[in-house]
C-alpha cells in the first residue's frame, strides 16, 4: 500500500494527461521489486494500459529527465517494429514530465511481457535480448563523443576509495545471527573483497584512453528485459542513461543473464553483431567491465548496509541480490583466468 499523500499526488498528476478519468483503474506497484526511491502505478482505462512513475526524490534536474525522454523517443521506432521502448506521453501543455509534491513524474505506455529469463533461459531469448540492445545502440549512434569512458573511471575511483578505507582500518560490523539472511553473505563478500581491489586498477588502467561514447542504458539487466515467448517485448527503466561505451551495457546485460558462461557470452556478442559492429576490443572491455562491476557492485552493498546504514524492509530480497554477486566473486577466486585472460586490445 502507498501512503495517502503519494496516492493523492498520483491522482493529481494524472489529471494533467490526456487519459480517460471516468474509466481509470489504478494499481500501486511500489518500486516494482527494485531498491530505488521511485514509485510506480499501472493505469488501465478502456483504451490501453499505462505506467505512471514518480521518480526518486533526489532526481531534481528536469533537463536531465527531458534528455532521457528525448533519447527514448529517438529509439522508439514504430515503422521498424522496435516497440520494446516505452512510449512517452505528453501532458496537456505538451511537456513530457511534471513536478509535483517534490518529485518529477512521467507517464509511458505499459510494456507487456515478463522479466523471466532466469525461469526460462534459452539461446534464442539471449540472442533476442542482445539484438534489441544493439538496436537501441544503433538508434543512438549519431550522438557520439570521444572521451574517457565513465564506466572505467567510476570503477577505478571506487576501487581506490575502498582501498583507502581498508588501509584506515574500516571493516563491516557484520552481526553474525541466524535470523538475518544478509549477514552471512556480507561476510563472504568481505572475505574476498580486499584481494580483488588491487587487481581492478591493474586490469582497467589500460582501458582509460579516449573511446567513442554514445547514449547507453548503463543499467540493463535481467529485471529490465521483458519477454513473451522468445520475443523481447520491453526494455524498461531508462533512469541511468548517459554517454558511455556500449561495452558497459553488454557487460551489464550478459553478466546478469548468463553469468560466467563464456559460450553464451560469445553467442550474445554474435547476436549483437547481426545488428551493428562490435570490435574485439569492445567485447574484451565488456568482459572486464563485468568482472570489475561484480566486485564493486558487491562492495556497494557493504557500503549501503554498513557505512550508510540504510534500512531495507525486505532483507530476503537484499540477500538474494548479494548472494548472486557473492557466488560470482567466489567463482572468480577459484578461476582467476576469467578476469586475467582479458588483455587490453
| CATH code for the domain in which residue 95 is found | 3.30.200.20
How confident is the model over 171-191, as pLDDT tens digits? 998 877 667 899 999 999 999
Q: Which three cell numbers stand for residue 289?
A: 567491465
Using alpha carbons only, what angle is made at residue 47 by residues 223 and 113, rounded to the nearest 5 degrees? 20
Picking from 67, 86, 109, the residue at the C-terminal end of a domain is: 109
Which of the residue ranges 17-26, 119-128, 279-288 would you say has the lowest mean pLDDT? 17-26
Residues 202 and 317 in one domain: yes
Q: How far apart, in whole angstroms, are the C-alpha atoms of residue 204 and residue 344?
A: 8
Average pLDDT over residues 150-170: 96
In a domain, 116, yes or no: no
In a domain, 57, yes or no: yes
Q: Which of 111, 151, 146 is nearest to 132 (CA)?
A: 111
pLDDT band at 222 (very low <50, low <70, confident <90, very high): very high
Residues 65 and 151 in one domain: no
Q: According to the model, what pLDDT value does residue 36 have? A: 77
Residues 134 and 66 in one domain: no
Strand 39-44: give its sheet, edge to edge. Answer: 25-30, 39-44, 49-54, 103-109, 98-100
Question: What is the C-alpha end-to-end distance of the chain, expressed in Å?
Answer: 51
Residue 206 has pLDDT above 70, yes or no: yes
Residues 138 and 244 in one domain: yes
Q: According to the model, what pLDDT value does residue 47 have? A: 79
In a domain, 295, yes or no: yes
Q: According to the model, what pLDDT value does residue 22 have? A: 56
Residues 133 and 105 in one domain: no
pLDDT band at 119 (very low <50, low <70, confident <90, very high): very high
Picking from 85, 109, 133, the residue at the C-terminal end of a domain is: 109
In a domain, 114, yes or no: no
In a domain, 147, yes or no: yes
- Beta-strand relationship, 103-109 and 98-100: antiparallel
Q: According to the model, what pLDDT value does residue 92 have? A: 86
Residue 5 has pLDDT above 90, yes or no: no
Picking from 74, 109, 144, the residue at the C-terminal end of a domain is: 109
Task: Assign residue 162 the CATH number of its domain.
Answer: 3.90.1200.10
Average pLDDT over residues 216-234: 97
Residues 141 and 193 in one domain: yes
Q: According to the model, what pLDDT value does residue 139 have? A: 94
CA distance to 78, 151, 213, 258, per residue, from 148 (Å): 34, 9, 8, 28
Residue 339 has pLDDT above 70, yes or no: no
Which of the residue ranges 9-18, 185-194, 207-216, 299-308 would you say has the lowest mean pLDDT? 9-18
In a domain, 115, yes or no: no
Residues 172 and 23 in one domain: no
Helix axes 262-273, 123-139, angle to 10 degrees: 40
Residue span of the structural domain in which 48 resides: 4-109
Average pLDDT over residues 44-55: 90
Q: How many domains does the chain fold into?
A: 2
In a domain, 117, yes or no: no
Q: What 3-state class would DSSP assign to 28?
A: strand
Q: Which three cell numbers stand for residue 67?
A: 534528455
Strands (E), the chain: 25-30, 39-44, 49-54, 98-100, 103-109, 145-147, 211-216, 225-228, 231-235, 242-244
Average pLDDT over residues 26-30: 87
Using alpha carbons only, what angle is made at residue 202 by residues 199 and 208, rounded to the nearest 5 degrees? 130
Residues 105 and 73 in one domain: yes
Average pLDDT over residues 25-50: 84
Residue 3 has pLDDT above 90, yes or no: no
How confident is the model over 278-322, as pLDDT tens digits? 999 999 999 999 999 999 999 999 999 999 999 888 889 999 999
Could you count the other beta carbons within 10 Å of the beta carbon of residue 266? 12
Q: According to the model, what pLDDT value does residue 263 have? A: 96
Average pLDDT over residues 150-162: 97
Residues 59 and 177 in one domain: no
Residues 202 and 149 in one domain: yes
Residues 333 and 191 in one domain: yes
Residue 338 has pLDDT above 70, yes or no: no
pTM exceeds 0.75, yes or no = yes
Q: According to the model, what pLDDT value does residue 83 have? A: 85
Residues 29 and 150 in one domain: no
Alpha-carbon dihedral 98, 100, 104, 107, rounded to 10 degrees? -50
Q: What 3-state class would DSSP assign to 192?
A: helix
pLDDT band at 108 (very low <50, low <70, confident <90, very high): very high
In a domain, 310, yes or no: yes
Average pLDDT over residues 263-288: 96
Return the higher-pLDDT residue of 248 and 11.
Answer: 248
What average pLDDT does the structure give for the chain?
Answer: 91
Amino acid at each position: 500500500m502507498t501512503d495517502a499523500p503519494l496516492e493523492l499526488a498520483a491522482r493529481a498528476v494524472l489529471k494533467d494527461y490526456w487519459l480517460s478519468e471516468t474509466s481509470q483503474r489504478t494499481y500501486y506497484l511500489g518500486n516494482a521489486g527494485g531498491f530505488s526511491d521511485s514509485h510506480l502505478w499501472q493505469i488501465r482505462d478502456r483504451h490501453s494500459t499505462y505506467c505512471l512513475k514518480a521518480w526518486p526524490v533526489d532526481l531534481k534536474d528536469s533537463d536531465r529527465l527531458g534528455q532521457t525522454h528525448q533519447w527514448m523517443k529517438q529509439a522508439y521506432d514504430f515503422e521498424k517494429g522496435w516497440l520494446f521502448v516505452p512510449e512517452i506521453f505528453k501532458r496537456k501543455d505538451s511537456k513530457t514530465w511534471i513536478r509535483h509534491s517534490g518529485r518529477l513524474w512521467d507517464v509511458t505506455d505499459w510494456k507487456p511481457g515478463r522479466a523471466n529469463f532466469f525461469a526460462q533461459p534459452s539461446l534464442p531469448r539471449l540472442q533476442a535480448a542482445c539484438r534489441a540492445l544493439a538496436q537501441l545502440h544503433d538508434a543512438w549512434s549519431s550522438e557520439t563523443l570521444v572521451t574517457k569512458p565513465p564506466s572505467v573511471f567510476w570503477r577505478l575511483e571506487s576501487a581506490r576509495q575502498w582501498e583507502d578505507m581498508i588501509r584506515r582500518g574500516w571493516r563491516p560490523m557484520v552481526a553474525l545471527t541466524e535470523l538475518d539472511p544478509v549477514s552471512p553473505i556480507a561476510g563472504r563478500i568481505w572475505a574476498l573483497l580486499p584481494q580483488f581491489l588491487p587487481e581492478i586498477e591493474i586490469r582497467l588502467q589500460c582501458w582509460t584512453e579516449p573511446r567513442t561514447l554514445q547514449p547507453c542504458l548503463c543499467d540493463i539487466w535481467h529485471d529490465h528485459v521483458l519477454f513473451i515467448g522468445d520475443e523481447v517485448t520491453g526494455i524498461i527503466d531508462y533512469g541511468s542513461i548517459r554517454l558511455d561505451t556500449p561495452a558497459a551495457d553488454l557487460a551489464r546485460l550478459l553478466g546478469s543473464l548468463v553469468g560466467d558462461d563464456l559460450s553464451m557470452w560469445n553467442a550474445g556478442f554474435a547476436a549483437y553483431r547481426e545488428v551493428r559492429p562490435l570490435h574485439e576490443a569492445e567485447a574484451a572491455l565488456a568482459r572486464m567491465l563485468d568482472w570489475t562491476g561484480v566486485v564493486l557492485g558487491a562492495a556497494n552493498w557493504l557500503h549501503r548496509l554498513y557505512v550508510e546504514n540504510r534500512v531495507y524492509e525486505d532483507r530476503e530480497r537484499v540477500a538474494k541480490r548479494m548472494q548472486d554477486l557473492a557466488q560470482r566473486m567466489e567463482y572468480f577466486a577459484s578461476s582467476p583466468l576469467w578476469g586475467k585472460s582479458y588483455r587490453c586490445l
